[in-house]
Amino acid sequence: NIDEDIISRVYKETRQISDSINTTLKKLKAVDKSREEFVSNVSHELKTPITSIRVLADSLIGMEDAPVELYREFLSDISEEIERENKIIDDLLALVRMDKTAGANLNVAQVKINGLLELILKRLRPIAGKRNIELTFESMREVTADVDEMKLSLALSNLVENAIKYNIEGGWVRVTLDADHKFFYVKVADSGIGISEEFQERVFDRFYRVDKARSRETGGTGLGLSITKKIVLMHQGAIKLQSKEGEGTTFTVRIPLTYIS
């Protein structure tokens, strides 16, 4: 009887251990798969501009007596592709650096959020102007918070840039700032093309774009929102979006006024 008892206990424990090994393996595989996917995405994204450059250069080389205008046109295309490659590398480096340093390396200081937002809007106003998009900022109060100024500025710039990029000619972008006793809230609302419900969760994924062609045309890398989300999370904050296709999108960022390390 005692023997049976022991055997049954050992059996039970062995099963538990085997179950937990299986769960761990599954988790490891998932991590591995997402890493593999990331690496394959990175290589694909980095290769695309290079392939275009190669095709453009090869066709120039293969042409006899090509007119100067054609040279100019192709070289300017090549230059655009180089710029694109640079942007992808910059975005990737920003992401990878943040992966490595996690939350510990935030350069936190007391920052006036109103001023930070005004500066972002001032910088982006010319781009909005080109498409006749009205860009406004409304603040309910003066907000000072413990943030990493450079990183937060990058995170919020990405949102405003997107609101301009994925907008209609003559549309609007409204940035608002509010706070309560614990958090400040930045809303970036636009009158743009919107994001249909099925894609809303995925827009924060690295390299994910709803419309590849449009994103490419506007110089997108598909990394902007993943960078923004990472920075917001590093600040112990949260980000969400509301959107309706064809009507517009609102991103809301919530960040604690005080940073607890």
Q: In the complex, which residues of this chain contact ligand ADP (CB under 6 A)?
A: 158, 162-163, 166, 190, 192-195, 203, 208-211, 215, 220-226, 249
CA distance linking residue 160 with residue 53, whole number of Å: 30
- In 128-139, which positions are buried (b, 16+ CB within 10 angstroms) versus exposed (e)? beeeebebebeb
Give Cα 140 to chain centroid, integer Å. 27
In the bound state with ligand ADP, the residue whose beta carbon lies nearer, of 175 and 210, is 210
CA distance linking residue 119 with residue 10, whole number of Å: 66
Question: Shortest gap between Cβ of 210 and ligand ADP (angstroms)?
Answer: 3
Say which DSSP state 52 is in.
H
CA distance linking residue 19 with residue 22, whole number of Å: 5
In the bound state with ligand ADP, the residue whose beta carbon lies nearer, of 53 and 203, is 203
Contact 162, 195 (CB under 8 A): no
Question: Shortest gap between Cβ of 256 and ligand ADP (angstroms)?
Answer: 24
Residue 195 phi, psi (nearest 5): -130, 120
Q: Which two tokens stand for residue 44?
A: 């694909």
Question: Shortest gap between Cβ of 173 and ligand ADP (angstroms)?
Answer: 9
Q: Which two tokens stand for residue 76?
A: 């300017």
Question: Shortest gap between Cβ of 80 and ligand ADP (angstroms)?
Answer: 15
Helices and strands in the chain: count of H runs, count of E runs: 6, 7
In the bound state with ligand ADP, the residue whose beta carbon lies nearer, of 68 and 213, is 213
In the bound state with ligand ADP, the residue whose beta carbon lies nearer, of 108 and 133, is 133
In the bound state with ligand ADP, the residue whose beta carbon lies nearer, of 108 and 163, is 163
Contact 133, 170 (CB under 8 A): yes
Question: Shortest gap between Cβ of 38 and ligand ADP (angstroms)?
Answer: 14
Question: Shortest gap between Cβ of 195 and ligand ADP (angstroms)?
Answer: 5
In the bound state with ligand ADP, the residue whose beta carbon lies nearer, of 193 and 231, is 193
